[in-house]
Homo-oligomer: A and B are copies of this chain.
Amino acid sequence: MTASPTPAASDADWLRLDRQICFSLHAASRAFNGVYRVVLKDLGLTYPQYLVMLVLWEQGDLPVKKLGEHLRLDSGTLSPLVKRLEGAGLVRRERSAEDERSVRVRLTDQGAALRERALEVPRRIAAATGFGLEEIGELREHLDRLTGALDAAALHEAQSCG
């Protein structure tokens, strides 16, 4: 209302808007992280560790590589993270017999059992935010489009600005 988006915005306007959108996404990500941090403390998991466990609960045991593809994380992030999960007794790492390069991440009984306690997490989050299924779906779609556009942009930047 107060700030009408004129078609011909100045550079300064763009910079201000940039601050806003940058900040919004950054803040949203950290706020999200913060709420999960509280809820996940009971489970002894960090937010990224929870993401890994979600994938394992859904997909069964996977090599680190596949885990990374699901989460778009590389071994530099996953190796120590999975090692911490192993330290907590939630997963075990096993060298694949067929391909000795590959390490399969397998849920322990304890790790599999943790899923039961995790089932309440989404409801606690949803309840906390007051967002419904529709709104969550809508936001997700919005974010996925953004990510898709940004990924394509990243590729383009990498190619054109070598």
Contacts and interface: CB of A to CB of B under 8 A. Distances in A.
Contact of A131 (B34, B55, B72, B146): B146
B25 A143 contact: yes
Given A149-B131, A150-B129, A54 B143 contact: no
Given A28-B150, A31-B150, A142 B140 contact: no
Interface size class of A (residues with CB under 8 A): 35 or more
In the complex this chain forms, how many copies of it are found? Answer: 2
SS of A interface (majority): helix
B51 A19 contact: yes
Contact of A25 (B5, B7, B32, B50): B32
A143 B28 contact: yes
Given A21-B136, A21-B139, A22-B47, 19 more contacts: A11-B122, A14-B123, A14-B126, A15-B115, A15-B118, A19-B54, A22-B51, A25-B32, A25-B143, A27-B143, A27-B144, A28-B150, A32-B146, A35-B154, A38-B161, A128-B156, A129-B146, A130-B149, A138-B142
